[in-house]
Amino acid sequence: MVQHRNALGRGLGSLISMDDAPARDTSAINEIDLAHISPNPDQPRTSFDETALDELASSIRELGIIQPLSLRKTGPDSYQIIAGERRYRAAQKAGLKSVPAYIRTANEAELTEMALIENIQREDLNAIEIALTFKKLIDRYELTQERLSERIGKKRATIANFLRLLKLPAEVQLGLRDKRVDMGHARALLSVDNPSVQLKIYKEILKQGLSVRKVEELAKAYQEGKNVKEAAQQQPASRLGNHDFDLLKKHLSAAFQTPVKFSCDRSGKGQITFSFASEEELTRLISMFDRGL
């Protein structure tokens, strides 16, 4: 069943997500039965946090879906998700029968590209998911890196840097996927041409909480024929150990009732990141900041 509703009053989400852009050839938001929607098998995002989905489902039960999904029509009464699979899954958990959506026109290649771009713009993908999707697009549609850069609006050097991540050992790729290390660490590891040494440095990163600068120093030490493990232990890492970081992360996540991530380099500088899944969660966090918890 398809119903139409006015696209007014969509709030903050309409300013920050391509998901809310009107469909090609229509400005209407359609109400689509969940039973007629199927996920995109080439969705770039491969992991969905169940706790975050439960929280989003709870928000949807109370407030509904703020940002419409983007779908493409695949049959007389069937649709495939271009963007919004997380909202689709949460809507199922919330017991909804239908969801608001824009219907867009897209072929197979455009479908994957649009899903990739939407996720990148929303920073929903980890670096390995992005790299794998770049590779899939290049292989499936026989694109050059230059052509892909034109299609998705990313510099060719950026695409090349992501693709290089797939040359790292599987354990390092998993760490990057799970955000135990970041792109800076990965780029520094790529300057080492020995996979066993890459793994050795990676384990030192996890053990000591090494900064990107320190990893670059270790890569240089290896190239100069020095012992990597000894070089890694020349200076104390951080005054806070991994256990302290884990306790602080758990404390902040519990206090703010949302996933919290943080990083800290050897000089003590770092950043704390608070995740939110909807405009309502953002408003709640801002309110907590305003009143000092």
pTM to 2 decimals?
Answer: 0.53
Environment class of 232 (CB within 10 Å of its CB; exposed 0-12, middle 13-18, buried 19+): buried
9-23, 101-115, 205-219, 249-263: least confidently modelled range? 9-23
Instruction: Using DSSP bridges, classify how beta strands 78-83 and 37-38 pair: parallel, antiparallel or unpaired.
Output: parallel
With a cut of 90, say whether residue 121 has pLDDT above it. no
pLDDT band at 96 (very low <50, low <70, confident <90, very high): very high
The two beta strands, 69-75 and 98-104, are parallel
Q: Is the pLDDT of residue 6 over 80?
A: no
In terms of DSSP H, where are the helices of the chain?
Answer: 13-16, 50-63, 85-94, 108-121, 127-140, 145-152, 156-164, 170-177, 183-190, 195-208, 212-223, 228-232, 242-256, 279-290
Lowest mean pLDDT among 24-28, 149-153, 197-201, 244-248: 24-28
Q: In a 3-state reduction of DSSP, which class is residue 253?
A: helix
Least Cα distance to 34 among 86, 102, 100 occurs for 100
> What is the share, in percent, of the chain residues with pLDDT greater than 70?
76
The Cα 260–Cα 270 span in angstroms is 13
**How do residues 26-56 score in pLDDT, each as one tens digit?**
447 899 999 999 998 777 677 778 888 898 8
Adjacent-strand bridge partners of 75? 78
Q: Which residues of 197-227 are buried (b: 16+ CB within 10 A; e: fewer)?
A: bbbbbbebbeebbbbbebbbbbbebbeeeee
pLDDT exceeds 60 at position 258: yes
The residue among 279 and 11 whose pLDDT is bigger is 279
pLDDT of residue 129: 85
Name the pLDDT band for 292 (thresholds 50, 70, 90).
Answer: low
Residue at token pair 């990141």 = 273
The confidence score (pLDDT) of residue 88 equals 93
User: CA–CA separation, 32 vs 100, rounded Å?
Assistant: 6
Looking at the predicted structure, is the pLDDT value of residue 21 above 60? no
Q: What is the mean pLDDT of the chain?
A: 79
| Residues known to be catalytic | 85
Query: Taking 70 as the threshold, does the pLDDT of residue 23 lie above it?
Result: no
> Taking 90 as the threshold, does the pLDDT of residue 167 lie above it?
yes
- Cβ contacts of residue 243 below 8 Å, gap of 6+? none
pLDDT confidence tier of residue 195, bands split at 50, 70 and 90: very high
Structure tokens at 27: 């400005």
Percent of residues, the chain, with pLDDT higher than 90 = 25
The predicted model gives 204-232 an average pLDDT of 85
* Residue labelled with tokens 């290649």: 109
How far out from the chain centre does Cα 134 lie?
14
Tokens of 256: 């703010």
Residue 42: exposure state from Cβ atoms within 10 A (0-12, 13-18, ≥19): middle
Residue 2 · residue 22 · CB < 8 Å: no
Structure confidence at residue 268 (pLDDT): 62
